[in-house]
């Protein structure tokens, strides 16, 4: 009876997992050769060295591909390198180099196609058109990878991490630089991005469209060409991210276009041409963020309505808040402004005098951009003084009626 149970359990469990070792001159000199023999649950160990690898497909589920000493899979600049089409495949500690540039298809160092549960961990991707590309996939994790692009112009440079039509994906602790967009999401749902650094990319550090119910926490976006752009999405959260060093005539720390019902909490916008830019974005909450040393702290177009700014810090910006409209339904309450010079007679920490953060000179710049040359002139100070004495031009919705009166720390 016992023997029968043992045999039955073995039949259910299947044959034991095996390990195939890839090494130059060995029984399996290439990854493709090992994959021809591997079955479900097997491990392929690639030893240190450089292996010319083009368009290798992983079609067996639950395969583990791991590098020993960071072996290099070199695509030679002509094609994709690894294509995963099976579920629950793990790729760890492998260097991918030279996925080729194509003007007709998005060639990637690692592509995951219609698969679930893949894990791409601690890999290095160098000089490739696209880095990691997930399409029609779900439940995957992309973590601890270092992805460095060629730094070429946008036409000859793909995205570092690219998700299309993907759901329930975790993007954690990756370093991405030198690509067109560091992280790009389109038609995704329930994606989380935590602890990533996206820097020095040609266009955006993060760019997503039509990607609802996603969360972004403790990421750093620095010195990307145009900053971060998010579009046509609802139900997202941004918590404790840093948007810094986006400088240039069309650069934004964070650009929101048609974003609704989302929350932005404890983020830091520092050293950008524009910290936050909103267009057609409504019913969003911005609380406890810091806007420091930007050209414009926040620019709210008239098409953005019913947004709430609560408990934020505005300090060292040339213009704290501006808009191109005279009416609107945005609300400011309980924010801290370094230019607030009102009083607090009852010592409750709330200023007794409302604060109008939009400078008269800022409105002039909105209408005539060349006027920015007069920013440090007595003329600009005179306009602001006139508006503070007789506030007839500042929109009533851009008034903080309960400003914090404790100064800036």
Whether residue 36 is found in the same domain as residue 183 = yes
Is residue 387 included in any domain, yes or no? no
Give yes or no: residues 193 and 239 share one domain: no
Which of 169, 190, 214 is the last residue before a domain boundary? 214
Q: Both 78 and 207 in a single domain?
A: yes
Domain boundary among 214, 248, 282: 214
* Residue 58 CB partners (closer than 8 Å, separation 6+): 35, 65, 82, 83, 84, 85, 86, 89
The verdict on residue 274 lying in a domain is yes
Residues 170 and 73 in one domain: yes
Q: How many domains does the chain have?
A: 2
Same domain for 56 and 189? Answer: yes
Structure tokens at 182: 């560091």
Both 106 and 177 in one domain: the answer is yes
Q: Are residues 99 and 30 in the same domain?
A: yes
- 8 within domain boundaries: no
Are residues 305 and 158 part of one domain?
A: no
Asked, for residue 219, whether it belongs to a domain, the answer is no
Tell how many helices (H) and how many strands (E) occur in the chain.
4, 39
- 143/292 same-domain check: no
Based on the fold, state whether residues 43 and 185 are members of the same structural domain: yes
Instruction: Please classify residue 240 by burial: count the beta carbons closer than 10 Å to its beta carbon, then call 0-12 exposed, 13-18 middle and 19+ buried.
Output: middle
368 domain residue, yes or no: no
Q: Is residue 158 part of a domain?
A: yes
Q: To the nearest whole number, what is the mean pLDDT of the chain?
A: 88
Dump pLDDT digits (tens) for 128-149: 999 999 999 999 999 999 999 9
What CATH code is carried by the domain that includes residue 86? 2.160.20.10
pLDDT tens digit sequence for 377-396: 554 455 555 555 555 556 66
Q: Domain check: are 109 and 41 in the same one?
A: yes
Looking at 214, 243, 264, the residue that finishes a domain is: 214
User: What does residue 33 show for φ and ψ, rounded to 5 degrees?
Assistant: -65, -40
> How far is residue 358 from each of residues 186, 244, 299, 334, 363, measured CA to CA in Å?
35, 23, 10, 16, 8
d(CA 249, CA 374): 17
Q: Say if 6 falls within a structural domain.
A: no
State residue 387 phi and psi, 5-degree precision. -70, -35
Any idea what the Cα angle at residue 287 is, between residues 348 and 173, rounded to 5°? 135
Shared domain check, 280 and 245: yes
Q: How many whole angstroms separate alpha carbon 336 and alpha carbon 340?
A: 8
The parent domain of residue 22 ranges over 16-214
Q: Is residue 111 part of a domain?
A: yes
pLDDT tens digits, the chain, 409 residues: what are they? 555 544 444 445 567 889 999 999 999 999 999 999 999 999 999 999 999 999 999 999 999 999 999 999 999 988 999 999 999 999 999 999 999 888 778 899 999 999 999 999 999 999 999 999 999 999 999 999 999 998 777 778 999 999 999 999 999 999 999 999 999 999 999 999 999 999 999 999 999 999 999 999 999 999 999 999 999 999 999 999 999 999 988 899 999 999 999 999 999 999 999 999 999 999 999 999 999 999 999 999 889 999 999 999 999 998 899 887 766 789 999 999 998 888 878 878 888 888 888 755 555 555 545 545 444 555 445 555 555 555 555 666 678 888 998 754 4
């Amino acid at each position: 009876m016992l023997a029968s149970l043992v045999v039955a359990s073995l039949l259910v469990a299947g044959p034991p997992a095996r390990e195939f070792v890839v090494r130059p001159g060995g029984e399996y000199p290439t990854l493709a050769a090992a994959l021809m023999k591997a079955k479900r649950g097997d491990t392929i160990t690639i030893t240190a060295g450089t292996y010319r690898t083009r368009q290798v497909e992983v079609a067996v589920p639950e395969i583990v591909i791991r590098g020993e000493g960071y072996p290099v899979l070199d695509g030679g600049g002509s094609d994709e390198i690894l294509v995963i089409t099976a579920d629950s495949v793990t790729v760890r500690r492998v260097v991918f180099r030279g996925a080729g540039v194509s003007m007709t298809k998005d060639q990637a160092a690692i592509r995951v196609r219609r698969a679930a549960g893949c894990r791409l961990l601690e890999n290095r991707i160098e000089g490739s058109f696209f880095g990691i590309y997930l399409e029609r996939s779900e439940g995957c994790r992309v973590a601890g990878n270092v992805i460095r692009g060629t730094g070429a112009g946008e036409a000859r440079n793909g995205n570092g991490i690219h998700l299309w039509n993907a759901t329930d994906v975790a993007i954690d602790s990756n370093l991405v630089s030198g690509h067109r967009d560091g992280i790009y999401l389109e038609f995704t749902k329930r994606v989380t991005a935590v602890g990533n650094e996206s820097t020095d990319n040609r266009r955006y550090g993060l760019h997503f469209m039509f990607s609802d119910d996603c969360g972004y926490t403790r990421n750093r976006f620095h010195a990307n060409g145009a900053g971060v752009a998010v579009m046509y999405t609802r139900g997202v959260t941004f918590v404790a991210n840093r948007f810094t060093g986006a400088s240039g005539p069309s650069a934004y720390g964070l650009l929101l276009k048609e974003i609704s019902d989302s929350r932005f909490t404890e983020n830091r916008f520092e050293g950008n041409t524009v910290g936050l830019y909103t267009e057609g974005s409504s019913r969003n909450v911005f609380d406890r963020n810091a806007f420091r040393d930007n050209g414009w702290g926040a620019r709210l177009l008239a098409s953005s309505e019913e947004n709430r700014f609560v408990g934020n810090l505005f300090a060292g910006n040339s213009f704290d808040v501006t808009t191109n409209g005279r009416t609107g339904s945005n609300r400011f309450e309980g924010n801290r402004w370094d230019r607030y010079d009102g009083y607090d007679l009852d010592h409750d920490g709330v200023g007794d005098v409302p604060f109008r953060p939009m400078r008269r000179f800022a409105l002039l710049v909105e209408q005539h951009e060349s006027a920015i040359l007069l920013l440090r002139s007595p003329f600009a100070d005179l306009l602001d003084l006139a508006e503070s004495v007789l506030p007839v031009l500042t929109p009533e919705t851009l008034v903080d009626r309960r400003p914090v009166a404790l100064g800036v720390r």
